[in-house]
Amino acid sequence: MKNRIKELLDDVNQLAASNQEDLEALRIKYLSKKGLISELFTDFKNVANEEKREVGQLLNELKNAAQSKINDLKDSFNQSDKNEQHSDLTRTADPVLLGSRHPLSLVKHQIIDIFSRIGFTIAEGPEIEDDWHVFGALNFPPEHPARDMQDTFFIEQNPDIVLRTHTSSVQTRVMTTQKPPIRMIFPGRVYRNEAISYRAHCFFHQVEGLYIDKDVSFADLKQALMYFAKEMFGEHTQIRLRPSYFPFTEPSAEMDISCNICGGEGCPFCKYTGWVEILGCGMVDPAVLENCGIDSKIYSGYAFGMGVERITNLKYQVKDLRMFSENDIRFLKQFESAH
């Protein structure tokens, strides 16, 4: 019997299984009630009394070795299963939907890309500003309506600290810290104290532009805006400039584009005029240049500004401005293919 026990012990030490089924077969072969080790325990009663102690120790050693080997193989399979398990079993069976960029982000980056092709770089500034950068440096007189509480959000009732009403405040920061030539655009969020409706909101987004150098003319401004309109709305887009007034530009103009829905023939969207306003622009007022430390006798420049929501409305025909800030998944999902 001792030789048989040693043979089985050698076999047990060499046990191997490639899957759970093979492992269960080995357990039954060696450790079940009808297994090889149980048969040896049954034959133990026939062992001579003087050998029972030694044989009993060998049998226990064999049983413990077999049990330990089976357990080790079982643990190795369990660990392998954990390593191969890549799925989270707590996840819902529904597929996880990927998000998409917000329509305002899509249009803002398209505007930035268009102007970057003609040499404009980007500058950003704080949304909480002082009165001088938002109004004073830009030629707003103290009695200007934009300074009224109906239009501007003030911080803690401090008349000198406001939420910027336009990104022109970044223009003043750039002009006071950099020497011409300056060719930059200024994207960002702005705030105005207005009632929220389908056509207005208390915050919105702008992209403004500034070009200052020697001998900059209104013709340069028109050429840049013509390029932008055709790149954004299509090669057949036409523009027109109408005289207007802004405190920081002289002369000033508002720019219309031919309606991209009816092609300029007239429709409800353009109120049957064939034209849609998209931005304001003009030559930088010499007083603004002087306020910012730039010699207006040497340098001239132009500036323009547009609402990103306005351009997005024209591009995607979104009729309610509130949709841009309500995070309605049904609305945002429509722009997945517009990346």
- DSSP bridge pairs for 302: 211, 283
Instruction: Give the pLDDT confidence of 151-171 residue by residue, as tens digits.
Output: 888 887 777 898 999 999 999
Q: Percentage of the chain with pLDDT > 70?
A: 92
* For residue 201, pLDDT beyond 60: yes
In order of 17, 35, 67, 132, the CA distances from 14 in angstroms are: 10, 17, 13, 86
Strand order in the sheet with 154-155: 128-130, 158-163, 154-155
Residue 152's pLDDT is what? 84
- Alpha-carbon distance 339 to 337, whole Å? 6
pLDDT of residue 87 exceeding 70:
no
Q: Give this prediction's pTM.
A: 0.67
DSSP letters for 77-133: HHHHHHHH--S-TTS-SSPPPP----HHHHHHHHHHHHHHTTT-EE----SEEEHHH
The pLDDT of residue 29 is 81
90-112 tens-digit pLDDT: 766 776 666 778 889 999 999 99
Residue scoring higher pLDDT (233 or 7): 233
